A and B are shown apart, each in its own frame.
Chain A
Amino acid sequence: MEKGRSVGSYFLFVVREGLYRLKTELFGWRGFVMILIGGYMILDTFEGINESDTLMFQGIAALWVVLLFPPRMGKLLYLLPFSKKERVRYLGTYSVSYLMFLVMLFLLVGIVAFFASGYSIFLWMRHFLLCTFPFLMLYSGTVIDSLSIAVRRSYPNSGWFFSTRGWWQQKPDPVEEIREDCTGTVNATKKNMMSAEEKENAKKQTRFTICLVLCTIIPAIQCCVSYTYMELCKRAPWTLYLFTVLAYISAAIGLYLYWSRISDEMNKKGSVGKGDDVCSL
């Protein structure tokens, strides 16, 4: 009889889950797209040899990979028997492993490219660290955020990555839809009915979103237009390093923002409401 083990072997869990993902997702349509991306990245290195050290497709591939491998788990995170501390530890491990998984995918392609085209692995890694990694780093924040908070806030509504199923398969909750239809009539006055705490939360959320967008812009641009960058940087190399530093700083701030929001959410108590300032249906 296989008895349950204590929660503590997060690393093993994640390795197991990672292997499972590799097996199932790489053998599906995502795998096919991944082969196309990988193939193109390798071809790109052939191009890169002629163009000195420019790799056009690596950054775009990063975006694709991020979109192809959304984080999973969703509601289950709150249904499984985790204490608050364990949940946070689990999220941390999951995100780091997720990032490792993406980086390893890239490195794998880099190594194949190195053997196939003879492109310098050093230059390939340099490009990766200068242009692509800050964006991937920021993405690990999105992973924990979507696993821990978004599912809670959007539940039972569906969102982007937030379900255990893909967003493309999501069906909106009919009950919630009806409720939303009903609330539509009072939405206009809803803002006035919000308590001071709720208004403050809404403002906080807006500030968070603005800061995060600002923090994402630089690494995303760095990642997407690295080809143009490289061209530019041939003439003024310091611009590349300057933007790389900025991208890393932005990614670090972005991660900090995510983490502070997660800590807040984990310690959050539900709202009780005051007096009759509620809209009941």
Chain B
Amino acid sequence: MSTVLDVKIPRMQRDGFALKEIEFQVEAGYLTALLGMNGAGKTTLLSAISGLLPLPEEAEVMIGGYSLRENEKEAKECMGFVFDDSPFDEGMSPLLTGQMYGPYYRNWDMTKYIAYLERFEIPKKRAIRKLSKGMKMKFQLAFALSHGATFLIMDEPAASLDPVFRDEFMEVLSEILEDEECGILLSSQLVSELEAKADYTMMLYQGEQMFFDSTENILDKFLLVRGRYELFPYMKSRILGERLSEYTAEGLILNNGDPVRLDLECVRPTMEDLMYYIKRGVIRKGMV
């Protein structure tokens, strides 16, 4: 297992918005999800990692073992990108894009690129703007894979795809990860879907890294207890935060192995639940 991305950003400010104490890694063969609410700083972070925003002096981003600041060229050789808003000229065809921009990469392989286009059933000579959203994503993926990227950065790639196409896209990603040569950092609002597929999760809130760990570990750290509200006072000392409805109540507790009352239903929270409690200030930095 090798680290394909190592990010350390103590502080970075942009237009009155700040990223604070960001530190995480992406390993080859694993999918790391970058989650957060709107305005949490996901796009800013991805822009910084991909070199679209200048990094502050104190920050360090290593891609494939190369520093983005000192060896930008080598670092970018290792990075592939798939953005919701494609950076390529939409008037060009996928074939022409490959011919035009591919050769800038040292390891560019045109044969491989054409093979990927065929495999993903992307019309080679049709203008990119005429491709469907899903095809555009796959085209970017084909481009990234054809220059031997070991790290893929994806910003909301599945946001506007229909469920069938989304599944297909995720399947392709799983295949890429199987080889254990490439690691993926994927930001998305589709929390529930990513929860099932991501090996690691990085949660951002107000520009701050709330937690970064394996998805299983994060979810195992907490428990949701549900039941009648009258029973809650007995657990008051353990409940970190609660969500009340007219008849039932739900509370978040730390899963530290202590028994829970049998008359309360006890379930593992989802990432969406955790996001709710982060927003409420119940889950704070350092708790996971």
Contact = CB atoms under 8 A, between A and B. Distances in A.
Interface of A: 1-7, 13, 16-17, 20, 24-25, 72-76, 78-84, 86, 152, 155-156, 164-165, 169, 171, 173-176, 178-179, 182-183, 186, 190, 193-194, 268-273, 278-281
A2 B109 CA distance: 6
Interface stretch (B27-35, B70-78, B192-200, B220-228): B70-78
B85 A83 contact: no
Contact of A76 (B48, B87, B96, B208): B87
Interface in B26-46: 38-43
A72 B87 CA distance: 10
B172 interface: no
Contacts, number: 158
A79 B206 contact: no
B52 A164 contact: no
B11 A4 contact: no
A155 B52 contact: yes
Contact of B39 (A75, A182, A269): A182
A41 B157 CA distance: 47
A155 B47 contact: yes
A7 B104 contact: yes
A179 B38 contact: yes
Contacts of B103: 2, 4-5
A270 to B, nearest CB: 4
Contacts of A169: 90
Which DSSP category, helix, strand, loop or mixed, fits chain A's interface? loop
A81 B78 CA distance: 9
Contact of B89 (A164, A175, A193): A164
21 contacts: A3-B109, A4-B104, A5-B103, A6-B106, A16-B100, A24-B91, A25-B91, A73-B89, A75-B52, A79-B87, A82-B76, A84-B72, A152-B53, A164-B88, A164-B90, A175-B39, A270-B12, A270-B13, A272-B10, A272-B12, A279-B17
A178 B41 CA distance: 12
Contact of A4 (B39, B52, B59, B105): B105
Contacts of A178: 38-39
Interface of B: 10-14, 16-18, 20, 38-43, 47-48, 50-59, 72-74, 76-77, 79, 81, 85-92, 96, 100-111, 129, 147, 206-208
Nearest to B206: A280
B97 to A, nearest CB: 10
A83 B73 CA distance: 5
Given A193-B16, A272-B10, 11 more contacts: A5-B103, A25-B91, A78-B50, A81-B73, A83-B72, A152-B53, A179-B38, A269-B55, A272-B13, A280-B18, A281-B41
A178 B39 CA distance: 7
Given A4-B106, A20-B100, A156-B43, A190 B16 contact: yes
A83 B66 CA distance: 13
A13 B16 CA distance: 39
Contacts of A1: 109-111
A149 to B, nearest CB: 11
B17 A280 contact: yes
Contacts of A84: 72
A78 to B, nearest CB: 5
B29 to A, nearest CB: 23
A78 B105 CA distance: 13
Given A2-B111, A155-B47, A81 B105 contact: yes
Contacts of A156: 43, 47, 85
Contacts of A268: 54
